[in-house]
A and B are shown apart, each in its own frame.
Chain A
Amino acid sequence: MSAGDVAIHVRNVGHQFGEAGEARSVRALADTSLDIVRGELLCLIGPSGCGKSTLLNVIGGLLTPSNGTVQVAGKPVRGPMPNDIAYIFQENALFPWNTVDENVRLGMLFQGVPKIEHAARAKKSLEAVGLAEFADHYPAQLSGGMRQRAALARALSLQTGILLMDEPFGALDEQTRMILGEDLSVLLASTEKTIVFVTHSLGEAVFLADRVAVFSARPGTIKKIIKVDEPHPRKPAFVTSEKFTELRNELYALLHDEIRKAVSSEAPRGRNGGAV
């Protein structure tokens, strides 16, 4: 982990929604610095409203921070960087009027991949997520889990070095989450992508991440980073191991106080605006 291996530099990034002093202004993210190493999977976890999604959007160039800078592949981020970064949203980011295959191809069209490569790349990425047979289905014909696989296939076909995932399994049931998590771990072991993954789930964070960044309550900043020293692909047995339980408990202890703080600060709605 030499310094040259850093894929994403986050320097003193803070963000405030609305103008300072306005009744509705919310300080979502306080002065945050972070280096994300090439090829690692970093989970951002924290109480709701702590700014973890804000940080992800800043890294992805979807949001210009009030202060601070982000560098990706040595370049400052000023807007979306489709050649370096692919994004996976919580849900409903597939175009409902296109089939799965068309969705994947459209991503490549937007990114500017030569047309001649579309078919092969789409096939490869759909096979990687196990959706090859469903290429001609529309999103509405798929289950929530399959839709997220399709979104993952679209992101993989873009062949970016970085993948940003904003609670990609957040809308799914527990079983589907578990299976998708296992599959993701297998998939990622073979691709060497740098991944930033926002989640609410402690188990998901420990199971997937190489490092977990725990956020404090709003205005959020990184409170502590925990290393998960376990090679990918991770086996289902890892979940029942002592190491997993210990790490999960450590995360729980760290988060518990912050979640209390976040919840109690929501109560007097007048002062904090109650916005998330």
Chain B
Amino acid sequence: MARRRDTAQQLASRAVQIAFLLGLFVLWYCATNFWGVNHLLLPNPVAVFHQLVDVLQGGEYLPDLRVTATEFVVAFVLATTTGTVVGFFVSLSRYSVRVFEPLFAGIYSIPIILFLPLYVLFFGLGMASKIGLGTTIAFFPIVLSTIAGFGNVDRTLVTAARSMGASNYQLFRYVLVPAALPVILTGLRMGFTVALLSILGSETIASLAGLGHHIVQLAEAMEMSRMFAYIVFVVAIATLLNVTVSYFEARGRRLG
């Protein structure tokens, strides 16, 4: 019975969320159609829709999508590998946790995006600087959650496994990893989000190609409705990715 009430509540809050978005959309429509807001500041949603259809049909987004996707995938894979490996080794001793955890947490709280000019200087305007920045930014939530995950495994479980004769590998594979996985997955989802954010963001600031780059170009050419069409496109991709990641996170939790 509790479950039925939960679903009812969930449906109700979903309805409010959808109504909120629809309201925004109606406001947007009214502002551009009836209230005389300049179309250079805010294009008409219908015009944006037509542009979106055009963009999707033409496939002109493909080269930029390829660039952004490559930057993102490489950065996320690099951050995941380094973050989990470094996090695991830091978690092995109390001493190194005491030294490195506050250090990483401190750096994590700095807006690393400020170092973008430095990354551009070192790696150029191309993909490398975006990959470097995305990796750096995603590394911290991943390494911190990995340290927390491996550092807070219930000692009783470790002792129990040892008392039954578990080897180091067995302890890692059957106790430490499943115990730490839910926390690590949260870090991976956060790393995923900030990597995507910082890569798109830095493309809009200094770049040669990519979806962020293209959006800024359209803005400079005053093609507002097409720019909005691209923004909608990118938001749709990001939402899709986030939903997918959240789904895998929830699944991993259950399995973990």
A residues touching B (Cβ–Cβ < 8 Å)? Answer: 60-62, 80, 82-83, 85-87, 89, 92-93, 95, 97-98, 106-107, 109-112, 154, 158
Contact = CB atoms under 8 A, between A and B. Distances in A.
Q: Which 8 A-B pairs have the closest CB atoms?
A: A82-B165, A110-B164, A110-B166, A93-B160, A87-B163, A97-B178, A107-B164, A80-B163
Interface of B: 154, 156-157, 159-167, 170, 174-175, 178-179, 255-256
Judged by DSSP, the binding face of A is loop
Q: Which of A82, A86, A154 has the most CB of B within 10 A?
A: A82
A242 B164 CA distance: 41
B107 to A, nearest CB: 32
A158 B156 contact: no
Given A97-B178, A97-B256, A109-B170, A89 B160 contact: yes
A201 B256 CA distance: 37
Contacts of A60: 163
Given A95-B157, A97-B256, A109-B170, A80 B162 contact: yes
Contacts, number: 55
A267 B61 CA distance: 75
Given A80-B164, A82-B163, 17 more contacts: A62-B162, A82-B165, A83-B165, A86-B163, A86-B164, A87-B160, A89-B156, A89-B160, A92-B157, A93-B156, A95-B178, A97-B255, A97-B256, A98-B178, A110-B166, A111-B165, A154-B164
Nearest to A80: B163
Contacts of B170: 109-110
Contacts of B161: 110
Contact of B157 (A61, A62, A82, A93): A93
Contacts of A97: 178-179, 255-256
Contacts of B159: 62, 89, 93
B148 to A, nearest CB: 17
Contact of A95 (B167, B175, B255): B175
